[in-house]
A and B are shown apart, each in its own frame.
Chain A
Amino acid sequence: MKDTNEMKLEFDSRSCNEGFARVAVASFLSQLNPTLEEVADVKTALSEAVTNAIIHGYEGRVEKVYIECQIKDREMTVAVIDHGCGIPDVEKAMEPLYTTKEEEERAGMGFAFMEAFMDEVFVESEVGKGTKVIMKKKINRVPHQFEE
């Protein structure tokens, strides 16, 4: 399995960890030699998913958010997982401008941004069990070889 590489993160669902998660994933991504724009795209999409886990999944409770990253050839797959409340209607939740937290000034743009900045976005969610957001992005520049 020369051309795959994986990492996992587990951290408390505190908003101060959002920046940490972005930097950690961006740094893992850097081995594919992405453009600055590709890095920014992944950071924005990841930030949306982690923010969702913190404010919607756990609704402010401090529990664990999990991130799983895999690089295969030139594609990065990143999954953001929470064991929070789950989403009753995923299709509705993914509509632009739809938000359940208007009073907290949520723009309702989270999933729209994820879809805009990543190649593919999948959402698996079960009410009472949690949510897993899986995002994929191809990095087009010629990558560095993994070191043996």
Chain B
Amino acid sequence: MEDCFKVTGRNLTIIMPCELDHHNAEKLKTGADRIIQSRNIRSIVFDFGKTNFMDSSGIGMIMGRYKMIHFMGGKVMAIRVNQRIRRILTLSGVYKVMEIYEGLPQQSKLS
């Protein structure tokens, strides 16, 4: 579980699980929030590199973290987003509050 979090300075990278459903989202939230508070995190990168399933519980999890970070003036982004995950992010409207990248940020950016 701890392997899915990487802290660099005040940035937290969350390696999203293969299947981001209600069950996995609940587990991630607890771990992420502990780090966000204890390490004074100001930006979050959601890495979807190995994720092939997400439902609205994943959206709830992202929005919750976004609110925490945004409140303190921080930013969130999603990287290595495949077509399926992109569709879910678009459908839910989350794309409006975060930058979404197909690969890494220096590579192609999705609208």
Q: Which residues of A contact B (CB under 8 A)?
A: 15-16, 18-19, 22, 37, 40, 43-44, 47-48, 51, 54-55, 104-110, 112-113, 116
Contact = CB atoms under 8 A, between A and B. Distances in A.
A51 B22 contact: yes
B53 A109 contact: no
Interface string B64-92: 10000000000000000000100010011
B19 to A, nearest CB: 6
B55 A113 contact: yes
B63 A107 contact: yes
Given A15-B23, A19-B21, A107-B56, A44 B88 contact: yes
B53 A40 contact: yes
B60 interface: yes
A54 B22 CA distance: 10
A61 to B, nearest CB: 15
B22 A18 contact: yes
A47 B60 contact: no
A105 B19 contact: no
A109 B56 contact: yes
A108 B93 CA distance: 12
A43 B53 contact: yes
Report the 6 A-B pairs with minimum CB-CB distance, sorted nearest first: A15-B23, A109-B56, A105-B64, A107-B60, A107-B59, A105-B60
Contact of B19 (A19, A48, A51): A19
A113 B29 contact: no
B11 interface: no
Nearest to B20: A47
Interface in B25-74: 26, 29, 53-57, 59-61, 63-64
Contacts of B60: 104-107
A22 B52 CA distance: 13
A22 B20 CA distance: 12
Given A15-B23, A54-B22, A116-B91, A110 B56 contact: yes
10 contacts: A15-B21, A22-B21, A44-B55, A48-B55, A105-B29, A105-B63, A107-B59, A107-B63, A112-B91, A116-B91
B55 A15 contact: no
B53 A16 contact: no
A37 B87 CA distance: 11
Contact of B23 (A16, A110, A113): A16
B26 A15 contact: yes
Nearest to A97: B93
